[in-house]
Chain A
């Protein structure tokens, strides 16, 4: 299968602190891929590097066939239209309501009529499990779970091939979290997305992920399916996955 993201020998340094040292992984097309690891191991940093929010010191990252190290402005812009990113707290634009938030990329990047855009927005709102009546609310007026759903709808607005999720279930109650997992699985089968997510939620990890990369001690401690993960000798893996297997 074709890989959508290739990370090779990535090294990240903050001041004197080395976060990643020789990181390698690849994400295949159509899979849900998890980045796991103890707090502060640089999962979110790696995610931010993949979406070009942060520079890395050495190595290469290739996303959808394009190397992002010294990417041209035009290529970068085309990449950005092909992915969607869901931030931990949603990061909805506070000056716009939900419908306007979702419509924004459509308004900016396409010549679609207002009617068509409204139609698309209504569809996206519906697909993530929000009510059409919520569309006119502002981010400050809705709950955390709704914010995540609305942000997911915005990430899906341009029908991306690739979706990045930063702790999608954190801060949600267990029921909403399971609903969110199902939603992600549903969307994957519906839209054929490739998904990269950072998660701490064990239930969510077992329910949704096809393959995982575990970052520990600046390197990838394990990459592969969850079935064989416990065979790896790593303190983090043993502690993290023990609860589930007992």
Chain B
């Protein structure tokens, strides 16, 4: 199939291009190379001979028409008696008049891209601020009456993002306790300062590690879930449907999730505290021969309660960040499936980043306040 040949016939000052066989788009590139190198400077007349052709498709017709225009200055003539082929050629010629070439996308310079990206980021920041503003505006509206609080949704979200997360939080924090204790036990043994493992574990876990680990697990677990749920609802127009029915999505979807997470986080941090201390205690007992009684005595002696409370206090702030970023990203989902994936990724990355920034701010703040 698709067998077609092109013969070039020179006679005096005339060049004849004789096409034969079934000319389809598979042949075009071959003919193109064949015609590229020919010298037509001394040729006065060019003849395109299609008499031997049995078939011509539209792509090849475009090629023939292009040849016709290319050799315009050489008194070009077309020989063709096959009616079907003539019709195809005519069709392509007629259609060609109706459209102009598709414009090429202009290549951007580095400066233009930089400017565009900066502007987009600036717009994104403004949009997030607008989201926070709307959130607080609705919140005031919402909290005007206790009747408005949607207990059912909050309870549902509490179950989803706290109760169901208990297992993974317990396991992760227990392991972190084991790891930290194990690594420091080796160092402490060298100096014979075995008992200081309690001070170290107590302060680092209560104050920093337990809240941070909990926040990271929750960001990966609930933050991404919020984005995907709300994003999917946006794609299926469920959010629009809610709005037209007068159900504010902020009241039905956004606030219950934020409130639930703000309540859940301190509880989860408390559990993480307990589990990580337990992990450390086991390692201390095995590696450093510190009995649990001794460990707990020392813990209540040297670790002030403020460390524990500071850890819990961070919880609601982390929760607020994770929930708002997750939901905001969900609302940013555009009308295509790609953007769900993109926004879910962004939501997790941004919320973990925000949690760490927030933690750093707290660290500086509390240290300067002398707490």
Q: Which A residues have a C-beta under 8 Å from some C-beta of B?
A: 48, 51-53, 73, 76-77, 80-81, 83, 85, 87-89, 91-94, 104-105, 108-109, 164
Q: What are 5 residue pairs bridging A and B, where the CB atoms are less than 8 Å apart in the complex?
A: A52-B243, A52-B244, A77-B246, A85-B241, A85-B245
Of residues 255 to 280 in B, which have CB atoms within 8 Å of A's CB atoms? none
A76–B245 Cα distance when bound, in Å, is: 10
The answer to whether A80 and B245 have CB atoms under 8 Å apart is yes
Chain B interface extent, by class: 10 to 19
The answer to whether B245 and A94 have CB atoms under 8 Å apart is no
Q: B240 on the interface (CB 8 Å rule)? A: yes
A53–B242 Cα distance when bound, in Å, is: 10
The answer to whether A91 and B237 have CB atoms under 8 Å apart is yes
Which chain A residue has the least Cβ–Cβ distance from B242?
A93
Which chain B residue has the least Cβ–Cβ distance from A166?
B237
Chain B residues lying within 8 Å of A89, measured Cβ to Cβ, are 236-237
A48–B246 Cα distance when bound, in Å, is: 14
Which chain B residue has the least Cβ–Cβ distance from A78?
B246
The answer to whether B241 and A80 have CB atoms under 8 Å apart is no
The answer to whether B244 and A94 have CB atoms under 8 Å apart is no
Residue A105 contacts which of B232, B240, B245 (CB distance < 8 angstroms)?
A: B245
Chain A residues lying within 8 Å of B246, measured Cβ to Cβ, are 76-77, 80-81, 105, 109
| A contacts with B: majority SS | mixed
* 18 extra A-B contacts, CB within 8 A, seeds A53-B243, A77-B246: A51-B244, A53-B240, A73-B141, A76-B246, A80-B243, A80-B245, A81-B246, A85-B240, A85-B244, A87-B241, A88-B237, A89-B237, A91-B237, A94-B232, A94-B236, A104-B245, A104-B247, A108-B247
A85–B237 Cα distance when bound, in Å, is: 11
A77–B148 Cα distance when bound, in Å, is: 15
Chain B residues lying within 8 Å of A85, measured Cβ to Cβ, are 240-241, 244-245
The answer to whether A80 and B244 have CB atoms under 8 Å apart is yes
Chain A residues lying within 8 Å of B232, measured Cβ to Cβ, are 94
A89–B244 Cα distance when bound, in Å, is: 15
- State how many angstroms separate the Cβ of A87 from the closest Cβ of chain B: 5
- State how many angstroms separate the Cβ of A25 from the closest Cβ of chain B: 20
Chain A residues lying within 8 Å of B238, measured Cβ to Cβ, are 91-94
- State how many angstroms separate the Cβ of B191 from the closest Cβ of chain A: 59
Which chain A residue has the least Cβ–Cβ distance from B237?
A91
Chain B residues lying within 8 Å of A105, measured Cβ to Cβ, are 245-246
Residue B244 contacts which of A53, A93, A104 (CB distance < 8 angstroms)?
A: A53
- State how many angstroms separate the Cβ of B132 from the closest Cβ of chain A: 19
A83–B246 Cα distance when bound, in Å, is: 10
- State how many angstroms separate the Cβ of B337 from the closest Cβ of chain A: 14
Which chain B residue has the least Cβ–Cβ distance from A109?
B246
The answer to whether A87 and B247 have CB atoms under 8 Å apart is no
Chain B residues lying within 8 Å of A52, measured Cβ to Cβ, are 243-244
Chain A residues lying within 8 Å of B241, measured Cβ to Cβ, are 85, 87, 91-93
Residue A83 contacts which of B236, B240, B244, B247 (CB distance < 8 angstroms)?
A: B244
A80–B245 Cα distance when bound, in Å, is: 5
The answer to whether A91 and B243 have CB atoms under 8 Å apart is no
A46–B76 Cα distance when bound, in Å, is: 55
A27–B177 Cα distance when bound, in Å, is: 69
Chain B residues lying within 8 Å of A51, measured Cβ to Cβ, are 244
The answer to whether A91 and B245 have CB atoms under 8 Å apart is no
Chain B residues lying within 8 Å of A109, measured Cβ to Cβ, are 246
- State how many angstroms separate the Cβ of B240 from the closest Cβ of chain A: 5
A48–B242 Cα distance when bound, in Å, is: 13
- State how many angstroms separate the Cβ of A222 from the closest Cβ of chain B: 26
A80–B242 Cα distance when bound, in Å, is: 10
